[in-house]
Every structure is written in C-alpha cells, then in structure tokens.
C-alpha cells in the first residue's frame, strides 16, 4: 500500500484514541455517495466504493461485506473471504451482522443508514471487530456476541478492548413505539408523550457489562437524523435511502 494513502487515511480517522498508526477506520457520508450494492440507487455504488476506499488506502476489490439481516451473528474473516461482497451483493458473507479479524490488510465493512456501527479494537492481540447494531441486533446483544467471539478466536480480554460508536440515529430523534418498553429495560425515555430509544446507552451498557472499561469507549456523537444533509438517514428518506460504509482494517504498514 502506498504510504501517502495511509497518511491521508490517518487524517480522516474517526477516533484519534484508536491507535491510528495500526488501523484504518472510517465511516463514509453523503458526500461519498451510496456505497450499498442492494439498497438505494446502486448505479454508481461500485465507483463510489472505489473512490471512498482509495482515499483510505484500501483496494475496493478485497473488501469483506456481509449480507446484514439485523441478527446477532458475527463471522471471522480470513484470507479466503477477501472480496466477499466487494463487487456483488450476492457474494457477501450470508446472514451476518458483525465481522472480526486479526489478519492485516483485510478490510471489513458494514453498511448503515441510522443503525449504529460499533468499532472494536484489541491493541494487545491486534484484532478488530465491526458491528452493525440496529435495535433488533442490539436486543440480541450483538456487541457481546462479537466480544465473545473475539475472546474465543484471539483470546481478547474485554478490559483491553477499545470501542467506538459511529454515526447513527440518536435518542434526540429515534422515536419508537410503546411496545419497546417490553423489549428494552434501558435506553428508553419519554418526552411529550413520545418514546425514544438510545442505542448508544444500551450498547454501552452491554459493553461495560462484558468488561469493557468506560474510559475505552468513544463516541462520534453524530446523529444521522439531525444531520441528514450530511449523513444518510433511513428514517428521513425511507426505502429509497442510500447507505454509508463503515470500514476498518489492520494496517500492514510498520509502526513509526
């Protein structure tokens, strides 16, 4: 990988606390266009992916994507998975909402518009996880499942794990039905007779319950619905909505 590309990727780094010398981590925005191959207008999606990933120093043809189903399954991505879902939706890893790896130069991607992307990094085992946490997957405790899988595959200790929350719809805007009282015992608030869900609060509590330290949890603090001119919001644009890409890769470049 060209060193300049890595430099540039560092400048768009989401969470400065996340060891930028070892990781490429970013989330796209409206300006990068639709990056989904199965939602929204997909005509320019491959070209958009190529452009966005090139800026990160990533070859778009080796991207690893999942067929996201709002479930709780995490998959371990290895060399043979490189390129899964990169050029066609059909080739993506089936029925998966989180990806983990400890192999360098395997870029993991998830696609969202309002759902919460959670970035996980174990700096001691040098392993990463990327989670698609909408309300259904959050209910199924997908972050805990992903951490459990990182423990199994990489012997990750949750106390070492860094976690970051990407752009998603926040409690300011995420109105839900009263039936959510029976689904979540945390993260709900009532304002002027309307119920709101806080995906961040629920996922944060699942992370800390698993042993992740509060000081290792970071937040982009961006609400996709509040800032829908800059970030795609499914709630605002409905079924025609494009998707943003969260991407994470262990960089093969030697540490400085």
Binding site for Zn ion (CB under 5 A): 170, 172-173, 223, 225-226
With beta carbons less than 8 A apart as the criterion, state whether 168 and 114 touch: yes
- Distance, CA of 234 to chain centre: 16
Q: How far apart are CA 41 and CA 172, in angstroms?
A: 28
Least distance to Zn ion, CB of residue 231, Å: 10
Question: Nearer to Zn ion by C-beta: 203 or 251?
Answer: 203
DSSP string covering 40-106: S--TTHHHHHHHHHHHHT--GGG-B-B---SS--EEE--GGGTTTTTS-GGGSBSS-SEEEE-STT-
Provide, rounded to whole angstroms, the least separation between the CB of residue 95 and Zn ion. 30
Q: How far is the CB of 229 from Zn ion (least distance, A)?
A: 13
Looking at beta carbons only, is 64 or 197 nearer to Zn ion?
197
Pick the closer one to Zn ion by CB: 92 or 223: 223
As measured in angstroms, the least distance from the Cβ of 224 to Zn ion is: 8
Q: How far is 64 from 49, CA to CA, in rounded Å?
A: 12
Nearest CB to Zn ion, comparing residues 59 and 175: 175
């Amino acid at each position: 990988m060209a060193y300049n590309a890595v430099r540039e990727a560092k400048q768009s780094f989401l969470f400065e606390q996340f060891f930028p010398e070892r990781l490429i981590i970013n989330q796209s925005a409206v300006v990068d266009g639709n990056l989904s191959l199965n939602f929204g207008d997909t005509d320019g999606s491959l070209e958009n992916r190529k452009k966005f990933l090139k800026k990160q120093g990533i070859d778009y043809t080796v991207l690893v994507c999942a067929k996201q189903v709002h479930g709780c399954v995490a998959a371990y991505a290895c060399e043979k998975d490189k390129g899964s879902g990169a050029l066609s939706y059909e080739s993506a890893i089936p029925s998966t909402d989180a990806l983990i790896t400890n192999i360098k130069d395997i870029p993991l991607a998830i696609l969202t518009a309002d759902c919460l992307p959670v970035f996980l990094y174990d700096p001691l085992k040098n392993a990463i996880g990327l989670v698609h946490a909408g309300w259904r997957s959050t209910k199924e405790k997908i972050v805990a499942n992903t951490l459990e899988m990182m423990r199994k595959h990489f012997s990750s200790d949750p106390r070492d794990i860094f976690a970051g929350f990407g752009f998603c719809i926040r409690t300011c805007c995420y109105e839900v039905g009263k039936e959510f009282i029976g689904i979540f015992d945390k993260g709900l608030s009532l304002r002027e007779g309307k119920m709101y869900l806080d995906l961040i609060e629920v996922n944060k509590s699942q992370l800390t319950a698993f042993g992740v330290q509060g000081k290792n949890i970071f937040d982009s603090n961006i609400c996709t619905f509040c800032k829908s001119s800059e970030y795609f919001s499914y709630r605002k644009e409905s079924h025609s909505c494009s998707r943003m890409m969260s991407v994470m890769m262990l960089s093969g470049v030697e540490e400085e």
